[in-house]
Structure 1
Amino acid sequence: MEQTASDSPPPSAAGRYGTEAVFTADFTSTRQWVAGRSWAYPNGGPVNPDDNKLDHLVADPAYCRSGTFRATRRPDGRWNTGLLTTEGSEEAFEVRTGDVLEARVRLPRETGAWPAIWTWRDGDQEIDVFEYHPDNPDLLELSNHVRGGSLYHRDPAIGPGAWIDLRVEFGGGSVVWWVNGGQVFADGQGVGRDWHAYLIVNLSVCAGRYHPPPDPGTSEMSYEVQRLVVLRPLARPEAVDEGDG
């Protein structure tokens, strides 16, 4: 469902009290990020066929450490894919209730590409900052899997190869998404007062159940994350209702 101006929630705690940057992504940093494995995948990876993915995670820095997340076709039909997560890293950074994530990404062009920025912890706590599939060229998928609430957001500015600015506030009572500077969705569900989760940035490859697989002639695909930063409110008054934990 589309959010209208009259439906917009009041200003958030982050907006009223100001923020500070608590995490600025340096994809080259092995202190911030672990490459090529994630407990969001069975046994930490490298494959995840139950989610209809052709992924075979690799730790090769050429697939993720430059901020360009790549996938290349393997002889066995799977795809070597790039993934970074803060889970298990030395810093082990987690986003938490009230934080705001901002990112600038270049969407992939190739059919079968499945880029995403999302959160994960202990088999759950998933918020999809965005997902994208080039076969739906003008559509971003924005989802709260913690408490429910999602939107298929369509915009002519969204398309294969396009640069997109994203902003998501992980509110206790509502997760709020902005795309290219405009608010597009407030789910009215939120994440609860005590929510926290790790970050994942990756490029998956579709196996064909939900979206078409790569074209037979495609051997490589990529998308780029130019910037990713997490902002945290300077004050968290107890009077602010963030929902139940």
Structure 2
Amino acid sequence: MSGIYKRHWPGDEDRPALALHCMLASASYWGPIAKRLGGQIDLKGFDMPGHGRSGEWQPGADDPDFHTAVTRIAASFITRPLDLIGHSLGATVALRLAVAAPDAVRSLTLIEPVLFAAAPEAAQQARDQEMSELMALGHRADATRRFVDAWGAQPYDDLTPELQEQMLDRIDLVQATGPTLTEDRARILRPGGLESIAAPVLLISGERSPAVIHHIADALAARLPDVGRANVPEAGHMLPITHPDQVAGLIGVNLSRA
């Protein structure tokens, strides 16, 4: 794994925060949200390996899996209690950090965490199976199309050729996170783990997101001691990009609770 590209949106130095992006994107989309938060927090982020301006994901035989690697990078940003914000894959990393070190989290905002192990569902299992079969057959473009059409802000065929190529190049990383997200290899859901998070948590979902997202939120909320819920009308999975005003406003609400 080569260099990690770090990002910083300056704000209140007494309110450090870290934002974690989704799969097949980069931390750049937190910029508009940081702007809308108006300096309430001193927000940092990074492009995950193989994403954005970071180096390629090329693990050695003794290196950790992708989810663990991203979690360790995120942990390196934590020097004192901070506000932690995550979207999709990034939200599962944020939750993993909070379970491992609850005292390090001042507030936790989880936007559509894709921790499928929390709410196993036939429709999602079918999507995973189809992806695995397409990848095994070498049909990378079809696998990428299925993934983007289910989780992206717009259909794969509507993307520019440049964006399509970028997503094709990274589609293997989707497979690499499977054991953590569907089997909970990281034991995020271990007994007592979620219950140990004393910080205020906000679960944000898009009204039009796949049903499994709402089921995951239900399962997590049932175990978190201090939790709020929000559904953004007309929004899908990529709501930090498509609905930054609403997302920033909700993040601000959770910041005020800490």
Higher strand share: 1
Higher helix share: 2
**TM-score normalised to structure 1 length:** 0.31
**TM-score normalised to structure 2 length:** 0.30
